[in-house]
Structure 1
Amino acid sequence: MLSIVIPVYNYNILPLVEQLHREAFSLNIPFELLVCDDASTQVYHPEQLEAFPYLRWFSNPVNQHVAYTRNRLLKTAQYPWVLLLDADVMPVSTTFIQQYLEQRNKGYFFQGGFTYPLSTASTKRSLRFVYGSEIEQHKHLHSCCNLFFNQRELQLQFDEEITEYGYEDTLFFFALQKRGIDVTRLNNPVIHHSTESNQTYLNRSTQACWGLAQLVEQGKIKTAEVQLSRVYSQLEKARISPLLYGINWLLKRPIQRNLLGKNPSMPVFKLFKLLEFHKAKVAIRKSKSTAVTP
């Protein structure tokens, strides 16, 4: 009946597995819990995890990124309904799985949403926490951290050509739209427990901005489909995008101080991503120009 699939990289999923296994077992349904480690540099409690009777543990020999790992789990799943979760989440409700199972006759694809802990994050982790609690949890239309769907009917997969952080979830939802698959949003959230430092998250955000520029260049994402590329396009049409280089030169250090500090500003974070996207677009143009130069 149910395959619970979780890709993991350098994260302790034992508490999550315990809660999911406990509830699924109590429902007296056929189920399996599939976990795939993406070549973690640190693996937590593998012996305890493998001791769960309905859990199967897999490992990628080298890091393949989340799209490949999710696809591997989806191909392995033996039951029609799949519950896809990220490793760093925890269900809010003790009837989390039951609430999903009750929806099976009402559609094929469901998104439960997510929230963030009410506790104040430390200074070193404030950026991820502020962005998540102020923006992300209210606009999680393209998040794959908590999904329930009929894989046997839909045969979904992720784009494995994306091997860097950012926008694999966005592409996944765009593919759903193109196929006319309705997404039913439920109030069945998980808590997202991020452990990323400000610097790590800033580095990953930079990576995502450059990745978006490549995806737009490749035609996988249309400029108007994502706010960042849409705003940048508007600046280009107004012929003021070159000013972003000067803004970066003047404000780079103050922007870094703010985003790595205790109270990061979300407008400043948006400016940071716009500046990084501009750098990526300029670099792509230079690369193309060099490639065609005899």
Structure 2
Amino acid sequence: MISVLIPAYNWNVYPLVLALYNQLEEEDIPFEILVIDDASESEFHPLNQKINSIEHCSFQSLKKNIGRGSLRNLLASQSVYDWLLFLDCDVKPIGRGFVKKYIAVAKKAKGTVFCGGIAYRKEDRSKGELRYNFGVKSEEVALSVREKRPIKYFFTANFFIHRDIFDRIHFEESLKKYGREDLLFASTLEKEGVFIKQIENRVYHLGIDSNEVFTMKTMQATENLFFLADNKLVKERDHLLLRVALLLNDCKIGVFFGKKHAYFKKKAIENSSVIYLNLLKMSYLCFLFNRK
């Protein structure tokens, strides 16, 4: 019935797999848990190899990095069951009923993609205050808010999709850097008439990056957003950043604003400020548009 698919990179996935295994065993349904590491050469490989000793579970590490989208497609191609539960490796299901909730919705709507949502633990704030602040403000939002903007709050860290849909709509493999594959995937679902249903079935995001690492990843995600827009893979209306950047360019201030991205990056790191982080994204996107 369920294939749990976990793309991994430099993370100890064993505790997550064990927790999911215990929940799935209680449900008495056919299942498998597949974990593939994207050639991270991680110190956690010996721990993750223990996954292979758990019934219906497997771990493998690729010899060459293929990127986040390609890795998710590979996981799906190796799976055998009809329902695919995609989880990031650095999450933790909230509560013992996590799997049960997804099984319940699977019985109702095969043509719907379900998103469970993301939450953050206060004790993880010290790992990276900027990432934590951004997550709480922009990702850990109420179900009522997510329901109004299902594409904006579609997170690949925790979603449930039937194989019939995924066989039609794969992840874009040209995106090799971090970020924005969720936007493109959700936009494609909408274009193909697939309903995205937000539900209350959250996971904690445990992998909190330092301020320096998170700003670097944010810039990579902005480069991906520029790539998607430049290649007409997403529309302006799909993302506020695109609309703002193009408006600034139309007002002839995009060139000047784009030159400020290094300053905004510095301030975001120093102040753990989501405001400066958003200014960094807008400024860097203007820079990329005017660099063409």
Same fold judged by TM-score > 0.5?
yes
1:23-77 deviations in Å (ceiling 9; x for gaps): 1112111111111110012142033211111102232211111101100111111
Which residue of structure 2 lines up, in the alignment, with residue 41 of structure 1?
41
Q: Given the alignment, which residue of 96, 99, 103 partners 2:98?
A: 96
SS in 2 for 1:34: strand
Instruction: Give the TM-score taking structure 1 as reference length.
Output: 0.89
SS in 2 for 1:10: coil
Distance of 1:212 and 1:267 partners within structure 2: 19
When structure 1 is superposed on structure 2, of 50-59 and 71-80 the one drifting more is 50-59
Which residue of structure 2 lines up, in the alignment, with residue 259 of structure 1?
268
Map of 1:142-157 to 2, 5 A cutoff? 142-152=154-164, 154-155=166-167, 156-157=169-170
In the alignment, is residue 268 of structure 1 matched against residue 280 of structure 2?
no
The 3 A distance-change label for structure 1 pair 214 and 16 is same
**Which stretches in structure 1 are left out of the alignment for 5+ residues?**
286-294
Distance of 1:173 and 1:148 partners within structure 2: 13
- Note the aligned Cα RMSD (angstroms): 1.8
Give the residue type in structure 2 aligned to 1:29: I
1:185-238 deviations in Å (ceiling 9; x for gaps): 110100011231111111111111122112211111222321111101111222
Map of 1:138-287 to 2, 5 A cutoff? 138=141, 141-152=153-164, 154-155=166-167, 156-245=169-258, 248=260, 252-253=262-263, 255-261=264-270, 263-283=271-291, 285=292
Does the 8 Å CA contact 2:187/2:238 hold for their aligned counterparts? Answer: no
- Hey, which bits of structure 1, 4+ residues long, moved more than 4 A? none
Distance of 2:24 and 2:124 partners within structure 1: 32
Q: CA deviation at 1:256?
A: 3.9
Instruction: Give the TM-score taking structure 2 as reference length.
Output: 0.90
Bigger Rg, structure 1 or 2: 1
1:76-122 deviations in Å (ceiling 9; x for gaps): 11010111100010000201111110112321321111111122512
Distance of 1:34 and 1:120 partners within structure 2: 27
Give the residue type in structure 2 aligned to 1:133: V
Identity of aligned residues (%): 28
Give the residue type in structure 2 aligned to 1:164: K
The 3 A distance-change label for structure 1 pair 245 and 19 is closer
Does the 8 Å CA contact 2:254/2:290 hold for their aligned counterparts? Answer: no
Give the residue type in structure 2 aligned to 1:176: L
Distance of 2:180 and 2:172 partners within structure 1: 10
Does the 8 Å CA contact 1:112/1:189 hold for their aligned counterparts? Answer: yes
Give the residue type in structure 1 aligned to 2:30: P
Which residue of structure 2 lines up, in the alignment, with residue 291 of structure 1?
none
Does the 8 Å CA contact 2:134/2:274 hold for their aligned counterparts? Answer: yes
**Which stretches in structure 2 are left out of the alignment for 5+ residues?**
147-151
Does the 8 Å CA contact 1:80/1:153 hold for their aligned counterparts? Answer: no
Distance of 1:149 and 1:245 partners within structure 2: 39
